[in-house]
Amino acid sequence: MSSLFGLSHNATLMFWTLITIVFLILLISKYKWNPFVTLLISALMLGLFTGMKPADVVTSITSGLGGTLGTIAIVIALGTMLGKMMAESGGAEQIANTLVDRFGEKRVHWAMMIVGFIVGLPVFFEVGVILLIPIVFTVARKTKMPLLQIGIPILAGLSTVHGLVPPHPAPMIAIDAYQADLGKTILYSFIIGIPTAIIAGPLFGKFIGKRIQTEPPAELAEQFSNKATRGLPGFGITLFTILLPVILMLIGSIADIVDPDASSSITLFCEFIGHEIIALLIAAVFSFFSLGFARGFNKHEISRFTSECLAPIATIVLIIGAGGAFKQVLINSGVGTAIAEIATGANINAILFAWLVAALIRVATGSATVAMTTAAGIVAPVLALTPGANVELVVLATGAGSIVLSHVNDAGFWMVKEFFNMTVPQTLKSWTVMETLLSVIGLVLTLTLNVFV
C-alpha cells in the first residue's frame, strides 16, 4: 500500500494521511462515534495504509498513548484537584469577582488574555488550560458572556507564549539550535506576540463567541462552581496558590538559563521543583492547606473533594491519549519526514522557510514541540548557508509555524473540545481558526519587523 497510482512515496503518504483524517472527522462529527475508539481505528488504518508492519502499528499506538499520558494524565489530575480546591473554597469566585471589578464586565475578556499570557510563560499549554479552566467557567457564569468569548483569549495567551516567547521551553529549542541571542528574541517576541494575541484572542473571541454558543460540560461546571457557604478567601492567597506552579516552573527555567550545565546543586534543585509535575504536586498539596484547612474544611472533606473531582476527567484523559497514539503513528509512518522533505525542496526566504517547515510538521504530527524541535534541526543547516539572516526572527517564525492549524491529531485539540463541550466542527471553527490566526499573523509581523531590524 506504500505506493499508489504511481505516486512518489511522499505523495502516497500524504494521500493516505488526508484520507484518514477525513474518515476520522466524518466518523466523529457525522456518525457520532466515540472519539477514543475512532482515534484508535484511524491510527491503525493510517499505519497499515502507509506500509507499516502490523506489530509496529500496535507498538506505535501503545507507545504514543502511553507517552502522551505519562505526563498529561498526572498534570490533568493534579490540576483538576487544584481547580476543585479553588472552586470549593470560593477562590475561583474571588478571582472572577476581582477581574470583573477591575476591568468591568465588558472588558473582562481582555483580562483573560493577560492572565493566559502571564500564566503561560513557564508552563506548557495543557498545564495552563488545567490551571485556568475553573476561572473561565466562573467568569463566564458571572458575566453571562459566551463561554468562547472568555475562553478564546486565555487560550490565545497560552498558545502565543507556547510558540513565541522565551523562556518557554519550545522557543528555547530553536534559540539553541540557531545560536540566537536570548535578549533580542525575548524583545522581538513581545513586539510580535502581544498584537498577535490581541487579534486572535479578545477580538476573534468576541466574534466567534457570538456565533458558537456552548456551555461547559455539566459535570465539570458543577465541579468548578462555587459551593463555599463561608466567606470567600483573600484575593492574594488565592492568586498565590494558582500562580505557585507558574512561579516554581519559572524558577526552573531561569536556573536552566543561568546554569545550562546544571553544575550546582542549587540549579538541580530549582530544575527539580520547576518540573511541571513536581510544581503542580507542590501547588496541589499547598492548596489543601491554603484553600482547605485554612478555610475550615476538615480532612474528610478535602479527601472527598480530591477524589470526586477525578471522575469527570476520565473521558478527557482517554481521548487525549488516543490523540497521542494517532500522532505517534503519523511520526513513525514517515509522514513527518515526508513533510520536511517537501518543505526543504523549496528555495525561499529563510524566515518564510522556517515557518513553512514548522507548519507542515505541525500539521502532520499535531505537536508544536515536535514541530519546533524537528524544524530547528532542518532549518539550522540552511541558516548556516544564509549569511545576513536575522536568526532571532527565524526563531519566532519557527515558533509561529509550530502552532498553525491544530486539528484532530493534536492532543490540545481534544482537550479544548472536551473542556468547552464543543463538537468537532465547532472546535475546528473556533480553536483551529484561532491557532491559525496566531500563526499567520505572527509570520506577517515577523516579516514586517524584518524590514526594520
Q: How confident is the model at residue 289 (pLDDT cuts 50, 70, 90)?
A: very high
For 180-238, the pLDDT digits (tens) are 877 788 888 889 999 999 999 899 998 998 888 888 777 777 766 655 556 778 888 88
- Give the three cell numbers for residue 107: 472588558
3-state secondary structure of 345: coil
Q: How many CB atoms lie within 10 A of CB 8?
A: 12
Residue extents of the structural domains in the chain: 64-315, 334-452
Contact yes or no for 400/163 (Cβ under 8 A): yes
Contact yes or no for 208/430 (Cβ under 8 A): yes
Which amino acid, 346? A
| CA-based radius of gyration for the chain | 22
DSSP string, 176-230: HHHT--HHHHHHHHHHHHHHHHHIIIIIHHHHHHTT------HHHHHHTS----S
Closest CA to 196 of 366, 413, 445: 445
For 339-365, the pLDDT digits (tens) are 656 655 656 778 888 898 888 878 877
Q: Map grid coordinates 474571588 to a residue.
A: 94
Contact yes or no for 23/45 (Cβ under 8 A): yes
Instruction: Compute the distance between CA of residue 2 and CA of residue 9 in angstroms, rounded to an integer.
Output: 7
CA distances to 41, 273, 323 from 410, in Å = 16, 28, 6
- Give the three cell numbers for residue 332: 513513525
Tell me what pLDDT residue 66 has: 87
For residue 152, pLDDT beyond 60: yes
CA distances to 10, 37, 283, 346, 385 from 14, in Å = 6, 23, 44, 17, 29
Tell me what pLDDT residue 345 has: 63
Instruction: Compute the distance between CA of residue 409 and CA of residue 339 in angstroms, rounded to an integer.
Output: 15
For 299-311, the pLDDT digits (tens) are 898 898 888 777 7
Closest CA to 342 of 11, 6, 46, 1: 11
Q: How confident is the model at residue 393 (pLDDT cuts 50, 70, 90)?
A: very high
Closest CA to 241 of 287, 305, 285: 287
For residue 19, pLDDT beyond 60: yes
Tell me what pLDDT residue 2 has: 47
Instruction: Compute the distance between CA of residue 23 and CA of residue 16 in angstroms, rounded to an integer.
Output: 10
Q: What is the mean pLDDT of the chain?
A: 81
Looking at residue 233, the DSSP 8-state letter turns out to be P
Percentage of the residues of the chain whose pLDDT score is greater than 90: 16
For 394-424, the pLDDT digits (tens) are 999 999 998 888 888 777 888 888 888 888 8
Tell me what pLDDT residue 291 has: 86
CA distances to 242, 308, 316, 444 from 313, in Å = 20, 10, 5, 38
- Give the three cell numbers for residue 212: 458558537
Looking at residue 121, the DSSP 8-state letter turns out to be T
Tell me what pLDDT residue 312 has: 67
Instruction: Compute the distance between CA of residue 46 and CA of residue 31 in angstroms, rounded to an integer.
Output: 20
In sequence order, what are the residues at sequence separation of 6 or more whose Cβ sits closer than 8 angstroms to the Cβ of residue 323?
A: 39, 68, 366, 408, 409, 410, 411, 413, 414
Closest CA to 372 of 178, 171, 159: 171
- Give the three cell numbers for residue 379: 532549518
In sequence order, what are the residues at sequence separation of 6 or more whose Cβ sits closer than 8 angstroms to the Cβ of residue 87?
A: 134, 138, 223, 224, 225, 226, 227
CA distances to 244, 251, 255, 259 from 266, in Å = 19, 11, 8, 10
Which amino acid, 258? V
For residue 245, pLDDT beyond 70: yes
Which amino acid, 370? V
